[in-house]
Chains A and B, each alone.
Chain A
Amino acid sequence: MRPPRPFQSTRALLFVLVASALVTTGCAQLGSALGELADAATGLGGRSGLGDSAGLAVQGLKTLGDVVDASTSPFTPEQEYYIGRSVAATILRDYPVYDDPEATAYVNRLGQSLALVSQRPRLYHGYTFLILDTDEINAFASPGGHIFVSRGMIALTRSEDELAAVLAHEIGHVAMRHGLGSIRTARVIGAVQDGMFDALETVSDQQLQEVTAVFGDTTADVVDTLATRGYSGATERQADAAAVDILAGLGYDPYALVRVLERMDEAQRAEYEGDRERRGFSRTHPRPQSRIFDLEQTNLRNREPGGRLDADVTRQRYERALGGI
């Protein structure tokens, strides 16, 4: 229980105070000093197999989720949403959208249905889904509920159950606030730790610039995690566990996630074994085999394979919507 506090524009002004206190050096760009820090961390961390689960601890870098008394997010729902919008805008700058209204509508119906049985069915705006027009096998989720799945990833799936598994994993990341929890930018974390959230009722031009700079840092940090650095292995396993619950919650086969992971492992074997440069999922995720092992020891242990939905209906609508991919 936290003691009552007097009126504060607290979290809304997180960015202002952090920036003011620590003296910003200007608006962060992707690939700035922050990126260099992340690169160094990636080099230390290693990204293969079970060793990944040590992740952040091995690197000695704290994340916001590690250091905050996190019974609640230090951001308001709206701030999560606005950070999410910037993350989404950055992804949409870097990837073309697969322009197929029927496929997009289908992925949204499926994904939004899955979200209803997640542990966080309601977001400030809600969950929406887009297909990225790339062969790369990948999927991203912004803290605001913007979920992207690549054409290459969809091509790897063979049924509605399997596509549902991919989307449910991303929903799990959003529901558990993994994006914001992964923030490592020292000045944001420091501000949260120090409780530097004093009242500030008006925002001057200079403060707006400072806030925008830190907002940029926050966005860049989250994008870097999604696209380059990846979450810790433990975080990915939480999203896998959430995905199994979501699948089972709607009657999809929870083992569909295992089938997708097996196919990802097969498709990217050369990347995981170091014979080829890692791209997309293989760069940001632990090797699928280790994730399957974990699932079978935990959340799949007492679950029977198989779903209870009408297989004819799900097959027909999956093929009709995604046959072109």
Chain B
Amino acid sequence: MRRTGALLLTLLWGGTLSALSGGDRVAVSVREDELRSVPGFLSAIEARVAYGESVTVLALQGGWVRVRVDSSGTEGWLHETSVLPPREMNLEGSTRGDGAASTREIALAGRGFSEQVEREYEEQQALDFGAVNEMEALLVPTSVLGEFLSAAGAGIAGRDE
């Protein structure tokens, strides 16, 4: 019983997203991402979005969310793990009329603040974040992953060429 409860909590903790529905206003929760033409990581890129940008949910399909970027009106698909309700990014109540958080607000919500802490921690602990930056530069473009997968006959949804 206890184990089941703990498991449930852990599953909730690891859950990707509370339920979304059409009309919801959410924020991009990753540093940057691409709006796709159809649901899938290998479909054509319509536009790019960045952390904190406000988008409105238009439709849901199999773990993907069709959104409209509030500032530009551009539409496209994002994976549901790329968006969060603004309150979960400390942007609650801090968005402007157009739904976009100000730079200062986003900085307060995490980035600038965390960078400052990291610099302080780096000095105290003699850590080398340059090595971490090099590791993070190993990010592979999704198109290359698509080639890697298709070479072995693996398919994931969303290729629309």
Contact = CB atoms under 8 A, between A and B. Distances in A.
Contacts of A314: 152
A249 B62 CA distance: 14
Given A113-B149, A201-B108, A123 B30 contact: yes
B139 A112 contact: yes
Interface in B1-58: 2-3, 6-7, 9-16, 18, 29-31, 33, 41, 51
Chain A interface, >50% SS class? helix
Given A120-B16, A208-B116, A309 B153 contact: yes
Contact of A310 (B87, B126, B152): B152
B92 A5 contact: yes
Contacts of A216: 121, 124-125
Interface string B102-146: 000000111101111110111011111101100111111010110
A315 B137 CA distance: 27
A68 B13 contact: yes
B2 A76 contact: no
A286 interface: no
Interface of A: 2, 4-13, 15, 27, 53-54, 56-57, 65-66, 68, 70-73, 76-79, 81-82, 85-86, 88-90, 92-93, 97, 104-105, 108-110, 112-113, 116-117, 119-126, 128-130, 146, 160, 175-178, 181, 201, 203, 208-209, 211-212, 215-216, 219, 234-235, 238, 249-251, 308-310, 313-314, 317
Nearest to B81: A122
Contacts of A160: 152
Nearest to B127: A89
Given A76-B109, A104-B138, A212-B117, A85 B129 contact: yes
A72 B139 contact: no
Given A7-B94, A82-B118, A178-B14, A128 B138 contact: yes
B43 to A, nearest CB: 13
Contacts, number: 226
A8 B92 contact: yes
B126 to A, nearest CB: 8
Contact of A109 (B93, B124, B140, B153): B140
Contact of A65 (B13, B81, B94, B109): B13
Contacts of B16: 119-120
B81 A121 contact: yes
Closest 8 CB pairs of A and B: A176-B14, A78-B110, A70-B13, A82-B114, A7-B93, A89-B127, A122-B81, A309-B152
B113 to A, nearest CB: 5
A57 B18 contact: no
A160 B142 CA distance: 20
A70 B82 CA distance: 18
A112 B140 contact: yes
A128 B92 contact: no
